Amino acid sequence: MTTVEEVAPNVFRASGTDVNVVILRDGGDLTLIDGGYPGDVAAVENAIRSLGRRPEDVRAMLLTHAHVDHMGALVDFHRRFGIPVLTDPVEVAHARRDYLEQATPKDFLPMLHRRGVLPWLLRIARVGATKSVSVDDAVAFTDGVPLDVPGAPVPVPTHGHTSGHSAFHLPQHGVLVTGDALITAHPLSKIRGPQLLPEVFDHGHGDTLGALENLAVLDAGTIVPGHGPTAFLPIADAVEKAQTQTRDHRHGH
């Protein structure tokens, strides 16, 4: 069952397998931000249809970063309907798979004894976590400029989790789609609330903590993360919590 939550007027969070997808609606036109796992395509389609729209009504698809759990429906819709995929200039090559910055199954072996890790691995394996996905012709956007797509999101560079990771700001709604730069929950994390993903997921060449500074200065009180529930609090407060949680956790407090 796909959950669809309207977090602001015409801004929807839909759930894939332990991962979020965002739909922006502008009249009859949609923008899709991220696409879940390959096995989440039907869930994304159901979310779109629950709004009285069809996948063909998606005018553009934005990719926060080119990890398999965010590319599923984007790869599928791009192939089936020719809908363009837009991402950060650095991430275009990652989407093409010129290189891969992604955790592999062996990265999780040391954690298998931990509660919840094996069920999570099995769950994501069923929805295609080990599949090879790519978009050969993703289009680079310009950071900091509202995109000419439904909802007019503004890309915010948050390089760190991957080398070209982006968040998306909807200033007119005070909404920030943070992708994996800032999350609120994850099956591999004991923490609840604003946080960074566990370090095992970071393969970019940026600074994950430093990337939060680009978010903290924005005007937003609704945060839609790549993983976990929507958070309704000022982004500056969420960033401060994430920084504190991360420092305490990584220094073993």
Tens-digit pLDDT profile for residues 2-61: 789 999 999 999 999 999 999 999 999 999 999 999 999 999 999 999 999 999 999 999
Query: Length of the chain in residues, anyone?
Result: 253
Residue 1, pLDDT > 70, answer no
pLDDT tens string 232-251: 999 999 999 999 987 776 65
Are 64 and 42 in contact by the 8 Å Cβ rule? The answer is no
Residue 206's pLDDT band (cuts 50, 70, 90): confident
> DSSP string covering 149-207, please?
STT--EEEE-TTSSTT-EEEEETTTTEEEEETSSBS--TT----SSBPPPGGG--SSS-
pLDDT the model gives residue 238: 96
What span, in angstroms and rounded, lies between the C-alpha atoms of 89 and 97? 14
d(CA 12, CA 185): 18
The answer to whether the beta carbons of residues 40 and 16 sit under 8 Å apart is yes
Q: pLDDT tens, 104-152?
A: 888 988 888 888 899 999 999 999 999 999 999 999 999 999 999 999 9
Q: Three-state SS for 213?
A: helix
State the DSSP code for 4: E
β-sheet with 20-26: strand ranges across? 4-8, 11-15, 20-26, 29-33, 58-62, 85-87, 139-140
pTM: 0.96
d(CA 24, CA 223): 14
Q: What is the pLDDT of residue 253?
A: 46
φ/ψ of residue 16, rounded to 5: -100, -145
Sole residue written with tokens 């997921």: 201
In this prediction, residue 203 carries a pLDDT of 80
**Percent helix / strand / coil, the chain, rounded to 5:** 30, 20, 45
Q: How many CA atoms lie within 13 A of 233 on its CB side?
A: 14
SS3 246: helix
